[in-house]
Amino acid sequence: MLGKGLLVVISGPSGAGKGTLCKVLLERNKELKLSVSCTTRSPRAAEREGINYFFITKDKFDEMKEKDEFLEYAEVYGNYYGTPMSYVNKVLEEGKDVILEIDIQGALKVKNKYPDGVFIFIMPPTMDELKNRIKKRGSETEESLLRRFRSAFEELNYLSSYNYVVINDEIDPAVNKLENIISAERCRVDRVKSIVLEKINYQEGQYNE
């Protein structure tokens, strides 16, 4: 472990497959930690408290907001979502890497607070495929589906606020790319220079005769 952990933010339009990619990424890389968000939306059939989200009331959400307990929060498709700050800070201080799967508004707020974060945008292979994937999920009403699809177009305007883009055509190659990005980021000189030099016992001028 070299220094503080990486804060990795993964965003992209609904239906791009962020959830699936994050799930596989975390299964394959047990050392990565996922930040579980709080939301005011109701759980979907297969979702579990504390695994997918902490499902809380709007009152509780407002209370946490007042107490400044969120690293960021946003209203997305009519519901509120927020990243609890204490967990993220704890994981980073332990030198572990944490994944935030959050929307673009949230990602931009995190970028202000943690410019050192790694910001990755997940894209669908085509917009038609995006629509199919949202439909297939079957959990959305016609209105919610349309809303998600329309926002997808707007969200693409924010692509240049991210450091990396991964097209989710097939799961395995897309997860490989995420792993490669994280590995490369862990080796960046500006992140680890002083720690690496200390590790090899390098002192300036040591071998200048």
Stretch that binds ligand 5GP, among 69-77, 87-95, 188-196, 201-209 (CB under 6 A): 69-77
Q: Are 171 and 24 in contact (CB under 8 A)?
A: yes
Q: Where are the beta strands (DSSP E) in the chain?
A: 7-11, 33-34, 37-39, 53-55, 70-76, 79-84, 98-101, 118-123, 164-167
Task: Establish if 140 lies at the interface with ligand 5GP (CB under 6 A).
Answer: no
Residue 75: HSE in the Cβ half-sphere, 13 Å Cα cutoff: 3
Task: Establish if 74 lies at the interface with ligand 5GP (CB under 6 A).
Answer: yes
Task: Establish if 83 lies at the interface with ligand 5GP (CB under 6 A).
Answer: yes
Name the pairing type of β-strands 79-84 and 37-39.
Answer: antiparallel
Restricting to residues 106-135, name those near ligand 5GP by CB under 6 A. Answer: 106
Stretch that binds ligand 5GP, among 60-68, 79-87, 118-126, 159-167 (CB under 6 A): 79-87
Q: Looking at beta carbons only, is 103 or 185 nearer to ligand 5GP?
A: 103
Q: Is the dihedral of CA 139, 131, 36, 174 positive or negative?
A: positive
Q: Looking at beta carbons only, is 159 or 197 nearer to ligand 5GP?
A: 159
Number of chain residues interacting with ligand 5GP (CB under 6 A): 14
How far is Cα 10 from Cα 37, in angstroms, rounded to an integer? 13
Q: Which residues of 19-44 are buried (b: 16+ CB within 10 A; e: fewer)?
A: eebbbbbeeeeeebbbbbbbbbeeee
* Shortest spacing between CB 38 and ligand 5GP, in angstroms: 7
Q: Looking at beta carbons only, is 20 or 29 nearer to ligand 5GP?
A: 20
Restricting to residues 33-62, name those near ligand 5GP by CB under 6 A. Answer: 37, 41
Please give the residue ranges that form the binding site for ligand 5GP (CB under 6 A).
Answer: 14, 37, 41, 72, 74, 76, 81-83, 101-103, 105-106
